[in-house]
A and B are shown apart, each in its own frame.
Chain A
Amino acid sequence: MLRIDRRLIKNFDWITLSVVMVIALIGIMTIYSATRPLIEGEHPQFYIRQALWLILGVIALFLMVSFDYIWLGRFSLYLYIVGTILLIAVFIFSKAGMGAQRWLSLGPISFQPSEFFKLIYIIMLSQHLSITKGPINTISLFRVFFLIVFLPFILLLKQPNLGTALIILAIFVPLMLAKGLHKKIAILFVIIGLISLPFLGNILWEGLRDYQKSRLIVFLEPGVDPTGIGYHISQSKITVGSGKFLGKGYLRGTQGPFRFLPEKHTDFIFAVFAEEWGFLGSLLLLFLYLVLIRRGLDTAKNARDDFGRFLALGITFMFSTYFFVNVGMTLGIMPVVGIPLPFMSYGGTALLSNLLAVGLLISIRTRRFELFH
């Protein structure tokens, strides 16, 4: 099965790979800076662990490219079932971290099933959409929603992992639109949405944890609670803003090491980067993500089959959502939702699953001229 085709090498998407590698390396550099100790003292090992996960992730990426992604479509249902079971298993075997049950441990390694589930979910959704004929009608919409989206959404919400739960929804909507909806449904959708918004909002609000509520309140009015989330937002803005045009210089940022910025090496890594590299550096980083997203969309456009197209779209949507919500949160124009910046934030499982997703993107692009087997 493992064939390293000459054509595969010739058509390989070097641009996507190099953009991702550059972002990931910038990420490790920034983690190094953000976690450096203030005076003398041991440097936390975060950056080394991230580098190891990067190596592992790149190997996984190449493995992913070497397989024809069509197999994933064929096994999607089994993957989905396994993924859902893992999500349930989290409730039974998890160790709670940061007030949420997200982790499963396998011997020495802990990982978050939700990180891999996102990918499985996109595969499942793409497979389903690719075999559905014509635009989506009411029945198929509800079928998709309740069979594929609803259960994991609830499970993730219960963990609670609001970030990933919202991503699940965020990917669902544009993929449906991409597939094409009956006009009637589209209109109905909008009307139902508008009418139920207050109710839905209320239900959602009641379902939120206290810290999630406070994040929303504080986003709307940052002055309310400067100790808590409002403090995060204002410190994040200070961190970014203090970088000015050219930045304070690498390893010269103060907000992270002095612990003014919380979650400095995870969710707020962009702020640490922006502080040290300024407006110019931040713009360059944004540009790298723009290239990645544009490339993903282009891959979707040129995919050889529907499954590949939906898969590429889903993955690109996922990256875009993560990227915009995370940077938006860092810049104080989005509520604080605990989601990381892809390829940069510290976190092994997330990096691995993101690199797997990139592997899929490259695989789809590389095989765009191939015929079905």
Chain B
Amino acid sequence: MKSESKKILIISYIVIAAFLLLTMRLWQLQVLQGSKYRKLSEANRFRIMTIPAPRGILFDRNGIPLVKNSSYYCASIIYGEFDKGKVDLLSKVLNMPVEEILEKTNKKGMSPFVPTRLKQGLSFSEVAYIESRRSDFPGLIIEVEVSREYTYGNIGSHLIGYLGKPNLSQSKDPAFGDVPPDAFIGQWGAEMLFDKSLRGTPGERVIEVDSLGREIRMLIEKQPIKGKDIELSIDIDLHKEAEKAFGERAGALVAIKPDTGEILGMISKPSFDPNLFTKGISYDEWIALSRNKNKPLLNRTLQSQYPPGSTFKIIMAIAGLEEGVITPETKVDCKGGINYGKWHFGCWRKNGHGVVSLHRALVESCDVYFYEVGKRLGIDKIYDYASTFGFGKETGCELVNERRGIIPNTKWKQEKRRQPWYLGETFNTAIGQGYVAVTPIQMAVMMGAVANGGHIYRPTLIKDAGPVLLGKAKARPETLEIVKRALYGVVNEPGGTGWAAKSQLTIIGGKTGTAQVIAMRDGSKYLPERFRDHAWFIAFAPVEKPEIALAVFVEHGGHGGGAAAPIAKKAIEGYLKNSTLNQACPGDKARVQGKKQN
């Protein structure tokens, strides 16, 4: 009996030890780690879902929507509920490899009860098939997502822009803190510029769920606030007409409203289809786009700089008149070129223009006349006038990565090339060749200033933004009148180089330009190469009361009159069609004026 009692005593000790062990474990779980587990149990119960806010719509200046928020279908899977044996069938239905499905669903640390996105942009037949065989695919859900659709595709794509996933630095930036994960943000053009307003405020839904992720009840629901709509300054009809006229050629067009700086059109060719980006661009598509040698992603209107060619003669004429080195009556005898030292500076018309005054010199674009003006002015005066028209610096338009262009002078030459300025270079500059480089948007601003009496406004993409005056060009109204009359002649008088822009609908004034592609390292290479020249045409209309000023540039387009002028005409006609309509509506005009007064 004694040994029995002893055995039972031993058993009692073991039992008590086991109880102590359980007690210690309870202490550990409930007291030491209790807060952690309490939090986990709370997190178990709530699922926070973001409701994306509908993005604001971009309108053109006439209220035509440029984008749409369209919905598309996505397939997601709750892997914890999915019948793993059916992965082959699923792969066939979704037309995606089994490995891809497994890879997407087998991510570490992922709850099996939270839906995982498998495929975006299902076709209707795929959706119909899955819906009709619901019971075959437990855990597979079809979700509707909203994506951005660019109604006009390639048209105006550089200006309208596109959406994309936030990149690494953006996702860390607190400015994008309110962007829900997986949401797209504006990555280009107006979509990027006005992203903050367009984005809106996402809503939130806090849902109490059970362990299978089934919704029990909704605790909090905060409705999303739709992003602000934005009326852009552009005119989509102008775009349509002009882009059709461009065809397959590379180039750029910038049209502005002379009295406000509003950008009516901004075209860079070749362009791209922003719809490619909205559902997530594939790597191959991106490579094809970004490595294309025609550079469709480059916004040529402000990221490319070219010699202005003969369009620069407008600056020369203004500078000459203002400085008094010429009068409208000053005559020069053009014999087809001049000789300076051992070099020959030709006029584009080999036979010469004969004796011409300023008006004819501009209308027929006589080079020899402006060599003379350049010689009388000197490079530094030319520089001063070009600068007051906004050349050599950014125009300040909202879009990023704008180039400044180059207007040379003696100081610049000394700094950059460590060489003195030669008169031959002045001749080149006088006809917009050589070192001079401008962007199409600078040209449009200059044209606008000529048309509006010398005011330099900052170009803007927003309709009725209110003009921002950046400066006043050095040009008296009488001077500008003389020049404008000549620009009228370019298009409308016999012998004018811009005859191709002559319109039946309105009176257009403009100036052609042909930019030779010259490598100008030293004096031995002044002669143009056998390249096809770039074509320029800058214009404004109607001449009496300008409502639009624009610059058209066609890469390797040949002569400005032939290649660029017809595009300018189409763009102007496209715009004025709407503009005249607007004038017929007094309310709209009152609104414009009311805004201006503010």
Contact = CB atoms under 8 A, between A and B. Distances in A.
A320 B44 contact: no
Interface string A210-246: 0000000000000000110000000101111111110
B512 to A, nearest CB: 73
Given A260-B210, A297-B15, A328-B22, A255 B41 contact: yes
Interface in B32-70: 33-38, 40-41, 44-45
Given A235-B211, A282-B26, A241 B37 contact: yes
B31 interface: yes
**Chain B at the A interface: SS class:** helix
A135 to B, nearest CB: 11
Contacts of A262: 211
Contacts of A261: 211
Contacts of A327: 22
Given A227-B80, A320-B15, A242 B216 contact: no
Given A38-B210, A235-B211, A297-B15, A241 B33 contact: yes
Contact of A242 (B5, B11, B34, B80): B34
B31 A279 contact: yes
Interface in A253-274: 254-255, 258-262, 274
A320 B37 CA distance: 28
A241 B36 contact: yes
Given A38-B210, A254-B45, A240 B29 contact: yes
B27 interface: yes
A358 interface: no
Interface of A: 38-39, 174, 177-178, 180, 226-227, 235, 237-245, 254-255, 258-262, 274-275, 278-279, 282-283, 286, 290, 293-294, 297-298, 300-301, 309, 320, 324, 327-328, 331-333
A174 B10 CA distance: 12
A293 B15 contact: yes
Nearest to A243: B30
Contacts of A244: 30-31, 34-35, 37-38
B321 to A, nearest CB: 83
7 contacts: A226-B111, A237-B37, A243-B34, A244-B34, A245-B31, A297-B8, A333-B21
Interface of B: 3-5, 7-8, 11-12, 15-16, 18-19, 21-23, 25-27, 29-31, 33-38, 40-41, 44-45, 80, 111-112, 208-212, 216-217
Q: Which of A238, A254, A279, A300 has the most CB of B within 10 A?
A: A238
A39 B217 contact: yes
Q: Which of B3, B12, B21, B26 has the most CB of A within 10 A?
A: B26
Given A239-B41, A245-B30, A324-B22, 5 more contacts: A244-B31, A258-B216, A262-B211, A279-B34, A286-B19
A279 B33 CA distance: 12
A254 B15 contact: no
Contacts of A239: 37, 41
Contacts of B26: 240, 274, 279, 282-283, 286, 331
A332 B111 CA distance: 21
Contacts of B30: 240-241, 243-245, 274, 278-279, 282
